[in-house]
């Protein structure tokens, strides 16, 4: 284009991008996520695991895929269902 100097900037949401809409969860099936709930689920508000499924506003996390310090105790359930409306904050956990 004549008459000026232009800069093209390309950006992405990043490896650890924020998840906020239902469509975000539909596209990352199988990815590891870290989230915080508004209300406790099984006595906890902080979770990390692999997104096993997302259906009808409910996400299922496979907690056995979490990093060692975030894994549940051996007697705790390894899969957990959380209502999307209860998710306060969530991010993808980069896997390098």
Domain boundaries, the chain: 22-92
Sheet holding 44-55, edge to edge: 79-83, 58-62, 44-55, 32-41, 87-92
pLDDT of residue 74: 64
Classify domain 22-92 at the CATH topology level: SH3 type barrels. (2.30.30)
**Of residues 62, 65, 64, the one with CA closest to residue 52:** 62
Q: pTM for the whole thing?
A: 0.75
Task: Kindly report, residue by residue over 18-34, the tens digit of the pLDDT.
Answer: 998 999 999 888 999 99
Task: Kindly report, residue by residue over 43-86, the tens digit of the pLDDT.
Answer: 889 999 999 999 999 999 998 877 666 666 666 678 999 999 99
């Amino acid at each position: 284009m004549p008459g000026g100097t232009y800069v093209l900037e390309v950006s992405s949401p990043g490896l650890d991008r924020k998840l906020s809409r239902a469509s975000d969860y539909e596209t990352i099936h199988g990815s590891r996520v870290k989230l915080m709930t508004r209300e406790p689920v099984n006595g906890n508000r902080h979770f990390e695991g692999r997104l096993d499924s997302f259906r009808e506003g409910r996400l299922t996390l496979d907690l056995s895929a979490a990093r060692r310090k975030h894994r549940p105790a051996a007697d705790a359930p390894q899969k957990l269902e959380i209502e999307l409306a209860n998710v306060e904050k969530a991010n993808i956990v980069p896997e390098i």
